[in-house]
Structure 1
């Protein structure tokens, strides 16, 4: 009887190990795809002076002005590197545009704009989502920069693209089929894939402690 119980336990353990191995493999593969995606996307990150109603409204006005200019600057960019270079060269214009909008709204806040690798959480948008990770971002900080922020994708310009043009815009910006599969609800949905990565990272940390 003990031998039979031992066999059952052994089978259960083997099944658990197989499940863990599958989760690790899927998570590792998805993580590789996420890492590749991070090298193809530029985020726009606008941070308000505070959470007051006036400051949050000002943030959105600045966002609109900067977003229009940034997308115009990047319209002819063929890939991430060209987009990065164009934005870097245009930083003074982008900052000046933000400053003009702030002044037009009767505010005296200072504003700064720069490019920086920034950690972002998972974020769902209309029809797609971006996994958490470190992305290059055009950061626009108003005043003290102590308020709630707004972020989206400035290259490719996915957040201002109509749903019917989403795929064309993404491909023209250098995203491939694997990238689109990762961030859209195809092939099982992005939520499940992102959870697989979180599980993989959690297991990796656990194994590193044991």
Structure 2
């Protein structure tokens, strides 16, 4: 009886592993086709969090047409690198205009993100390229979105078209689906381990 129970447990674990491996591979591919925006507030004070959102609004307004020209995530990353000083200046001006003297730092980085939910989309956990804007000490809660394909603040029609253009059918199902909660959790644990060793 014990042998049967052990065999059933092993079979269950192997089934879960084999069902998650293809899913994890698709999630990793998604992370390679996406360019993200990550803004860190100076602190968690109400004023600093409000300032972070003003910085966000100014950056999204400035980059709306800028990133719309990108054909893929590599091109979006190149556009960010080429315009890094300007993007930093846009954010810095918002800080000064609101009466703060915090310094702003803009970088293109490769960083780990947990599974994130945005309106009708889910971005699986993984290592992503991102434009990171740090306001002051950068010790406050962050704000994130996807710059390419642009699903930050867009109309649903434009967003759906961009998602369909960027991702395969399987990847679209992952990004748009809500039936993968446990798989997202498994991928998140796996990616945290990978991120730790990197």
Using the size of structure 2 for normalisation, the TM-score is 0.89
CA deviations over 1:8-28 (Å, ceiling 9, x no partner): 333322222221111111121
CA deviations over 1:162-193 (Å, ceiling 9, x no partner): 33443212133x2221221112226xx13132
Change in Cα spacing, 1:107 to 1:196, as seen in structure 2 (3 Å) is: closer
- Any unmatched runs of 5+ in structure 2? none
Determine which of 48, 69, 73 is the counterpart of 1:76: 69
Distance in 2 separating the partners of 1:54 and 1:125: 24
Distance in 2 separating the partners of 1:153 and 1:24: 29
The answer (yes or no) to whether the contact 1:26–1:196 under 8 Å persists in 2 is no
Shift of 1:198: 5.2
Root-mean-square deviation (CA, aligned residues, Å) is 2.1
- Counterpart position of 2:174: 182
Distance in 1 separating the partners of 2:136 and 2:50: 14
Greater gyration radius: 1
Distance in 2 separating the partners of 1:19 and 1:154: 39
SS in 2 for 1:158: coil
- Counterpart position of 2:17: 24
Using the size of structure 1 for normalisation, the TM-score is 0.84
Distance in 2 separating the partners of 1:163 and 1:16: 44
Change in Cα spacing, 1:183 to 1:107, as seen in structure 2 (3 Å) is: same
Determine which of 93, 97, 104 is the counterpart of 1:100: 93
Shift of 1:84: 1.1
Determine which of 27, 33, 43 is the counterpart of 1:40: 33
- Structure 1 position 193 matched with structure 2 position 183: yes
- Counterpart position of 2:156: 163
SS in 2 for 1:106: coil
SS in 1 for 2:152: helix
Change in Cα spacing, 1:126 to 1:151, as seen in structure 2 (3 Å) is: same
Give runs of aligned pairs for residues 111-190 of structure 1, distance below 5 A.
Answer: 111-172=104-165, 174-185=166-177, 189-190=179-180
SS in 2 for 1:159: coil
- Counterpart position of 1:87: 80
Change in Cα spacing, 1:148 to 1:198, as seen in structure 2 (3 Å) is: closer
